[in-house]
Amino acid sequence: MTPVLSVENLSVAYRVPGGTLQAVRDVTLSVRRGEVLGIMGESGCGKSTLAAAMINLLPPGAVISQGAVRLNGTDMLTLPPAAQRALRGRSVAMVFQDPMTAFNPVLTIGRQLADFTGAQEPRLVDMLARVGIPDAARCLDRFPHELSGGMRQRVAIAAALLMQPEVLIADEPTTALDVTMEAQIIHLLRDLRTTFDGAIVIVTHHLGVIAELCDRVAVMYAGEVVEDGPVDAIFHDPQHPYTRALLACDPAVVDPASGRLPTIAGRLPDLTALPPGCAFLPRCTVALAACRTAPPQLRPAEGRSVLCHRGAA
Ligand SMILES: Nc1ncnc2c1ncn2[C@@H]1O[C@H](COP(=O)(O)OP(=O)(O)OP(=O)(O)O)[C@@H](O)[C@H]1O
Ligand code: SF4
Ligand SMILES: [Mg+2]
């Protein structure tokens, strides 16, 4: 089965004062229909850039320096911009961290949803009810600021689903919410799994979101996917030293209320001046001599892959 969405050897750089910042480096990933792919990793490791590059919707200043971005097998990067937009419009919808920014503050929810999706009122009410908005008909007459953050995020998810996308991409969809709202949105996304038959890509810092929602997870570090595979396999038997460090952290380090990614000692390397060897070297406790001089190559092992000189154990 052809993946709905895939990227092959994708690299993305930002032009920054005094150089080039390598935000995504040689990433190969795919997601199939009915599958939920999680992307995790610490702040600044390239998750949002990768999510945006997966649909070639990068901010100004970003350049795709190599690779392919395929939607149902078609490489978007080879299409003229208008054809790309048409393909994307038919196939992909995106949900962002803070749904307030997605709404126009002076128009009602109903007006915006109708403009954005072209759907009639009964369908809007139906979809709002489906994402758990109480009194959905009245919600259409409200303005964005009259809704809670969790409600706005539900409306944003409803808007995305009304587009009937084949791929739903959510970048930190629960991060701006308080713990209760966050739990509700996670619950909603989990329910969606049974009714939405497209593919879902979720970027998150939240280990609980990965564990509860995702089939597969890609762990990013310094722009690279360092480990990729089924969630169960990776959570129970992480192979890359970075994944191990994240998951082996004393549970006390993980904030019990938020379940957020623990922090590990050290910091990301400067992405404008990467070392010749492994980018994780300064923080790695099991480095080999080769790690200093040569970048590790991806090693596939039983449906998962690991980017480390030590390979899969
Ligand atoms: N528009 C931009 N211009 C220049 N550099 C950028 C831009 N956007 C992101 N970067 C840089 O690219 C790298 C990756 O950023 P990105 O936002 O993709 O990371 P992230 O994993 O999503 O982080 P976070 O968890 O904080 O959202 C970072 O070093 C960041 O500073
Ligand atoms: S390649 Fe070497 S330095 Fe990098 S994570 Fe593996 S063992 Fe550690
Ligand atoms: Mg981000």
pLDDT of residue 252: 41
Q: Which of 10, 12, 14, 94 to mutate to test the pocket of ligand 1 (most atoms within 8 A of CB)?
A: 14
The Å distance, Cα 269 to ligand 2 centre, comes to: 14
- Structure pTM? 0.92
Is 65:26 a contact under the CB 8 Å cutoff? no
* Residue whose entry in the numeric block shows the structure tokens 């991806």: 298
Atom 8 of ligand 2: nearest residue by CA position: 287
pLDDT level of residue 250 (50, 70, 90 thresholds) = very low
pLDDT tens readout for residues 140-193 = 999 999 999 889 999 999 999 998 899 999 999 888 888 888 888 888 888 888
Which residue is associated with the tokens 């599958």? 35
Q: 274 C-alpha vs ligand 2 centroid, how far in Å?
A: 15
The answer, yes or no, to whether residue 36 has pLDDT greater than 60, is yes
Share of the chain above pLDDT 90, in %: 66
Q: 149: Cβ below 6 Å to ligand 1?
A: no
On the 0-12 / 13-18 / 19+ scale of CB atoms within 10 A, 184 is: middle
Q: Domains for the chain: give ranges and CATH numbers.
A: 5-97+167-181+192-307 (3.40.50.300)
Question: What does the mean pLDDT of the chain come to?
Answer: 90
Give 226 Cα–ligand 2 centroid separation in angstroms. Answer: 10
Average pLDDT over residues 259-276: 83
In the prediction, which pLDDT does 215 show? Answer: 95
pLDDT digits over 202-222, tens only? 998 788 889 889 999 999 999
What ligand has the least distance to the C-alpha of 49? 1
Give the pLDDT of residue 261. Answer: 62
| 13 within ligand 1 shell (Cβ under 6 A) | no
**pLDDT of 293 above 60:** yes
Q: Does position 28 have pLDDT exceeding 50, yes or no?
A: yes
> Which residue minimizes the CA distance to atom 5 of ligand 1?
14
From 10, 40, 47, the mutation candidate for ligand 1 (largest count of ligand atoms within 8 A of CB) is: 47
Nearest atom in ligand 1 to the alpha carbon of residue 268 is 29
- CB burial of 235-271 (b: ≥16 within 10 Å; e: otherwise) equals eeebbbbbbbbbbeeeeeebeeebbbbbebeeebbeb
Distance 251 CA to ligand 1 centre (A): 28
Burial of 115 (0-12, 13-18, 19+ CB in 10 A): exposed
